[in-house]
Chain A
Amino acid sequence: MSERRGEMMMKSLRVFSKAGHKALQAVMLVALVTAGASVARAQDKSTPLSKVERLNRAPVNKEILRVQLPRPTVVKLKNGLTLVLLENHKLPTISFALRIRPGQLADPRDLPGLASFTADMLREGTERRTSAQIAEEVDSLGASLEASSNFGTSYTTVSASGLVNDAPQILDLMSDVVLRPAFPAAELAQYKQRAEADLEQNLANPGFLAQQAFRRVLYGEPPLSISSPTKESIEKVTTDDLKSFHAQHYCPGNTLLGAAGDFKTEDMRALIEKYFGAWTGAAEPVTAMPPMATPAAAKITLVDRPASVQTYIIGGDRGIKRTDPDYYALVVMNQVLGGGPQSRLFLDLREEHGYTYGTYSGINADLYPGFWRAFAPVRTPVTDGSMTQFVYEFKRINDQSVPDAELDDARRAIVARFALSLEEPSEMLQDWLTTQYFGLPADYWDKYPDHVAAVDPAAVQAAAKKYVDLGHMQWICVGDRKQIQDLLAKYGSVSVVDAEGKPEN
């Protein structure tokens, strides 16, 4: 956090680590205690159970500090570009965020990663600037300028930030890379080497291997099934591919542009219009995704990673679209089960059993049905015990109504957390971009706490039965095949693949 050194050398050790940021929609923290649940469980004999307990002696203010997220101004320019403008005057900074649909969902079948290549190459030269000039200008302003198209996300992101007085230069740079990228051939040749190295580094990472296998078994077919480009697509992509992807999909009518910071809304609108007003291109309809196949029967995919000292476990299944009416129930259920260090999975697998450094669950919900999944890296000898506890917790939330006090805690955690987001204008901006992007009502965040409060034990249980369904659970175990294949068999049928996803016998 404050110490950058920790990022590179990994030496500032935290009591738990989680992408603990306050995105209101997906990763919310929450939930409760498993105390009292004394069901017979498989135990790792080397580690005695260490009981979680509540003494209830701390001075807690029972009142939730209700806050209202400041509303942005939403403006549509003549060319179809939608602006979301949020003033915040604490510090002399500004941040911009573009969401350009459809992102990776438009990847051609034979060129996985094209959206990502296009986004990555935006900064590598425009009609007006070389790659080196862009880098130099950005760093000289102390600014940032980034573009990416993440796999499984229905939009490309371009973001920029800096000191507010530099807003014109930052918009000049940002509009230049978005509107006029040149995709120079020499830069593409260099980029391919970096992309290949990235792919190699990803394939060495157990978390990536698990997520990659999970998307494959969940969706089966591209574009949703893929998590990275391939060596072949990196080799094959040409500047013409990038140019035509850009021409076809980078259109103002598909795009949201948010700005948050120390500005006056009217001035910012005029400034953005100056740089993005001349952008043209017809709006593109939302990419239709193939209909979802019936959920597959539960199974285990073992990704063989020799020399591993841990097994990286994922259990999850197909989920919902962001606009699904089940969203609130799923968010609350997730909080109870695995939303944070105070949730059931963490308190069970870590605080009681000592199997893992951290275990959580989370929701991915987009324009297409995303997923719900739980995960944990555990030392190899407790793979069995960890699977047992996952199954135990999944069954428990299916079969037993969540106690009122635990549910209260989960709902309060979600709602009370809004106060902290008031400090982070770029986070609030992302929340408002979410409402715009998914066509949610303008008072969405005002009503959100009431929707959360309305989730009752029956709704939580119904969400668990639908989305934490052991009959259709897709398990991924990344680890040393020799040590775990046999024991996994008792949890379901096991198929084995290598890092690239090729079946092993």
Chain B
Amino acid sequence: MKRERRLAAAAVVVFGALMAPGVVSRLAGAGVKLPNLDLRETKLDNGLRVILAPDHSAPVYAINVTYNVGSRNERPGRTGFAHLFEHMMFQGSENVGKGEHFILLLNNGGEMNGTTNEDRTNYFEELPKNQLDLGLFLESDRMRALAITQANLDNQRSTVQEERRTNLDNQPYGHAYLDIDNLSFDNFAYKHSTIGSMTDLNAASLQDVTDFFRIYYAPSNAVLTLVGDFDPDDALAKVKKYFGPVPAQPAPPKVDLAEEPHYGERSETIYDPLARLPQVILAYHIPPGNTPDNYAAQELSIILGEGESSRLYQHLVKDKQLAAEAETQADSRIGPSLFYVIATPRPGAKVEDLEKGVDEEIEAVAKNGVTAEELAKAKTQLLRRFIDQRRSCLNTANLIGRYAVYFGEPDLINTIVDREDAVTLDQINAAAKKYFVRDQRAVVVTLPAANEASGANGAGE
């Protein structure tokens, strides 16, 4: 990581250089190259970390501000608050009216959003390069002086509750997505959902908003990333002008994310009045993101359940015709993470048969491992995805913000492919054996309930 100013060195990195011996990288052989991003990092006096990454390929630029706060920081009785607060950041600040943020960015050719997950909250926008001041002004004004009113809180509480209904309560399987994490974790930080319960959302007060802003929206608890078509000296001067006056605040308290080992499988059945087909979700515990075994888990997920050549698709959807869909996904959190398996039986197939089929596939990987060819294929797919993610300045800025806040390593934007490539066959197979343990997993089965039945809607919230 370069912390000093450095003029563009036009360095080019060749991927695959760190592949394990014996696994020849098709990509290195093919000479695939990706331009290295030259990151310049500065810290303002108020503690705000600033990362500048010039990229002159299009006349645009992107800003990402990632705050090191997510639902993991919430306390019991206030689930959903970090996300509700994120909505409040669009309700105006000292020099920006309610709704004006949307209006100013989108009517000047921009694209924007804000998102919250368990680990972080981010705010981002991309604009034509002649609007550099606009984006910096808007982000700094709300970091410095958020306008907080009861009417806006009530309005966004309603909006967030609608978000929950739209994405979860009025959709099939909505509660299964919440319950699988609820079962998987004992530590409150990751156990509860980011969207929160309706009761807790109702309980959120104006004082909560003021306190949360003071505690967590400190400049020293955020990373500002700029990617795109700007002169770095000019951009840094503007950053100092807009963000310099944001007052420093003490660092927020840390959250303990440690999860004690589990013994015994945890399971739950949901009778869902909105589902027309059953669904099975499994979750296995895996280590935090940016660790060698988490990278191995990412690759295991591709091999098992991402893409049509994956084992679950070829064996369960095609050969055995048990599933209509069968996919996996490996988390990459700041803390303990999860490896999910989601499968839907084909119409007419029994859920128990599908569960058994999934178990056989997972156990086969744990017992016999994967092949060198499968691992090479997974690495190629990861590389391709990563290249696509690097296409837009906005995505690139979002990734850098994530790497900086999650792992303290913004330069992962240049090196993550090497970390992925460093996973060896022995390591991935040892990881499969270590983490695919029935005793430490959670299972949520959803069954369609007749519409008249008042089926249980899940235990989570």
Are these two chains actual partners, yes or no? yes
Interface residues of A (CB under 8 A from B): 1-6, 8-16, 20, 22, 29-33, 46-55, 57-61, 63-65, 67, 90-93, 123, 131-132, 135-136, 138-143, 162-163, 165-166, 190, 193-194, 196-198, 200-201, 203-206, 306-310, 340-342, 346-347, 350-358, 377-379, 409-410, 412-413, 415-420, 422-424
Per-residue 0/1 for B346-370: is the Cβ within 8 Å of any A Cβ (1 yes, 0 no)?
1110000000000000000000000
Within 8 A of A (CB), among B368-411: 377, 380-381, 383-385, 387-395, 398-399, 402
**Selected contact of B162 from candidates A132, A341, A357, CB within 8 Å:** A357
Within 8 A of A (CB), among B1-47: 26-27, 30-34
* A307 and B451 within 8 A (CB): yes
Enumerate chain A residues within 8 angstroms of B134, measured Cβ to Cβ. Answer: 58-61
**Closest chain B residue, CB of each to CB of A57:** B95
Q: How far is the CA of A163 from the CA of B377 in the complex (A)?
A: 14
Q: How far is the CA of A409 from the CA of B100 in the complex (A)?
A: 12
Interface residues of B (CB under 8 A from A): 26-27, 30-34, 57-60, 83, 86-87, 89-92, 95-100, 102-104, 106-111, 113-118, 126-131, 133-134, 137-138, 141, 149, 151-152, 154-163, 165-172, 177, 193-195, 273-277, 307-310, 313-314, 317-318, 321, 324-325, 327, 329, 331-332, 340, 342, 344, 346-348, 377, 380-381, 383-385, 387-395, 398-399, 402, 451
Number of contacts between A and B (CB, 8 Å)? 340
**Chain A min CB distance to B260 (Å):** 23
Q: How far is the CA of A350 from the CA of B451 in the complex (A)?
A: 30
* A131 and B318 within 8 A (CB): yes
**Selected contact of B130 from candidates A65, A135, A193, A352, CB within 8 Å:** A65
Enumerate chain A residues within 8 angstroms of B26, measured Cβ to Cβ. Answer: 140
* A132 and B158 within 8 A (CB): no
Q: Which of B157, B383, B392 has the most CB of A within 10 A?
A: B392
Enumerate chain B residues within 8 angstroms of A64, measured Cβ to Cβ. Answer: 109, 128
Known: A139-B309, A142-B380, A424-B392. A347 touches B109 (CB 8 A): no
* A409 and B86 within 8 A (CB): no
Enumerate chain B residues within 8 angstroms of A53, measured Cβ to Cβ. Answer: 92, 97-100
Known: A59-B137, A65-B59, A196-B347. A309 touches B169 (CB 8 A): yes
* A51 and B347 within 8 A (CB): no
Q: How far is the CA of A91 from the CA of B327 in the complex (A)?
A: 29
* A420 and B126 within 8 A (CB): yes
**Chain B min CB distance to A9 (Å):** 5
Enumerate chain B residues within 8 angstroms of A163, measured Cβ to Cβ. Answer: 27, 30, 32, 384, 387
Known: A58-B137, A419-B60. A412 touches B107 (CB 8 A): yes
* B273 and A306 within 8 A (CB): yes
* B381 and A139 within 8 A (CB): yes
Q: How far is the CA of A78 from the CA of B402 in the complex (A)?
A: 51
**Closest chain A residue, CB of each to CB of B324:** A197
Q: How far is the CA of A336 from the CA of B16 in the complex (A)?
A: 50
Enumerate chain A residues within 8 angstroms of B321, measured Cβ to Cβ. Answer: 190, 193
* A65 and B451 within 8 A (CB): no
**Selected contact of A309 from candidates B117, B131, B163, B165, CB within 8 Å:** B165
**Selected contact of A65 from candidates B31, B109, B168, B171, CB within 8 Å:** B109
Enumerate chain B residues within 8 angstroms of A412, measured Cβ to Cβ. Answer: 107-109
A-B pairs with beta carbons under 8 Å apart, 15 shown:
A5-B332, A15-B113, A29-B106, A60-B134, A142-B384, A194-B346, A196-B346, A201-B277, A203-B276, A206-B170, A346-B102, A353-B155, A354-B154, A419-B109, A420-B60
